[in-house]
Amino acid sequence: MTKQDLEAWVDADRDVLIQFVQDFIRCRSPNPPGDTLEAAQHVRAFLDAQNIAYEIIAPNELMPNIVSSFEGGAAGRHLALNGHMDVFPVEDESAWSQDPWGGALVDGKIYGRGSADMKCGTTASIFAYTYLNRIREQLKGRLTLVVVSDEETFGPWGARYLAEHRPEVFGDCCLNGEPSGISTVRFGEKGPLWLEFRIRTAGAHGAYTHMSPSATVIASELIADLARLKDLAVPDLGNLEAAISSASGVIDGEYGAGAAAIIRKVTVNPGLVAGGVKVNLVAAECRVQVDIRVPNGLTEKDILPHIDEISARHHGVTYRVILSEEPAWTPPDSEMIDYVRQNAKQLAGIDPAPIISLGATDARLWRYKGLPAIVYGPAPRGMGSVDEHVPVEEFIHIVKCHVLSAFDYLRKA
């Protein structure tokens, strides 16, 4: 079996792949609430048709995880292919030009919630596993397919559960198809730190502003202070800095102008602000939930003293940590990155630049274990917004690159 043969299998299955991912998108799996039973059944039906055995691991019965594994014909290393089935909710279906749950193919693009994040990437994992299973006797080591639920809430019932209770499925390396854009390959990511602030004052009639501070005014001042966290110094991490610096133009091309400027900065997003009960009352309470993204080189322990200092400057403010996940990265010259870059160049004349991700993925859980984890997937067009889509040719390229890169990894002793 040659890489050209594997590429030919993907080409022969082009229509099958497109139909699979369209039907996958039609399986509604927004998180919240996180029910992936329909999406999981879609994956299971395909694996059943291929006579591939798998295990269902479901600590939450509405959020099953699908794991399958095979041994090659000789001893070797263990590669995991990881993707998730849950997707962001759709806030306003009427704002879309296509049905967000329709999986429509329009002008060479597949539309729908989860098309980019990450049902195309998960499909790449599933088909790569299927093709390599056919030639397992020619491979060395072990390949595991890890299709999970609950990624959008950081995996307590998904990959994080597996990390804690089934660590054997993690193997020695991970290849993941989360959105990266085909001109970049992601070797690390910033860490999310989510905080909830509560502001409480006595409150008053709206005409008597002298009687009490306003919780909503305090919230606005607090948010302005938190925004200054972007100026915190970030340690120089050597080869990470060199990789990011050389890829700044590509980063902006994939993620929008200005992305490169914040990739090594603390960012602050006050995603939820709720306060007051009536227009003519001085607000007595306000709640602010803030999403802080922590760059590699800093941790929660570096950020929280600044949060304490800022909170203390404002009347009636308390806070709690909702979520904290550390930044993580794999050396940008790791073996799997080389395979992805070589294959992308061979397939499409593209040499993906190694970069850090702005957002978080389940790949972090491999990195927490000291294992290399590489992300290569479509661009995040419309991700978490409207008209999410993936061009068909980009999708097919991702499938091929995953198949060939996994093949390369499993041929080496």
d(CA 34, CA 2): 40
Determine the pLDDT at residue 19. Answer: 98
What value does the mean pLDDT of the chain take? 96
Using the predicted structure, report yes or no on whether residue 413 has a pLDDT greater than 70. Answer: no
Closest CA to 4 of 276, 407, 293, 411: 407
| Alpha carbon distance 64, 66 (integer Å) | 7
Helix/strand/coil for 144: strand
pLDDT at 150 over 80: yes
pTM of this prediction? 0.93
- Predicted confidence (pLDDT) at residue 391 exceeds the cutoff of 80: yes
Average pLDDT (376-404) is 97
For residues 39-62, give the mean pLDDT.
Answer: 98
Per-residue pLDDT at 343: 98
pLDDT digits (tens, 9 = 90+) for 103-137: 999 999 999 999 999 999 999 999 999 999 999 99
pLDDT tens string 62-86: 999 999 999 999 999 999 999 999 9
pLDDT at 279 exceeding the cut of 80: yes
Average pLDDT in the 316-335 region?
95
Q: What pLDDT, in 10s, does the model give residues 257-276? A: 899 999 999 999 999 999 99
Domains delineated in the chain: 3-189+327-411 (3.40.630.10), 191-245+256-324 (3.30.70.360)
The whole-angstrom separation of Cα 328 and Cα 360 is 9
| Torsion angle, alpha carbons of 48, 50, 52, 57, to 10 | -40
pLDDT band at 239 (very low <50, low <70, confident <90, very high): confident
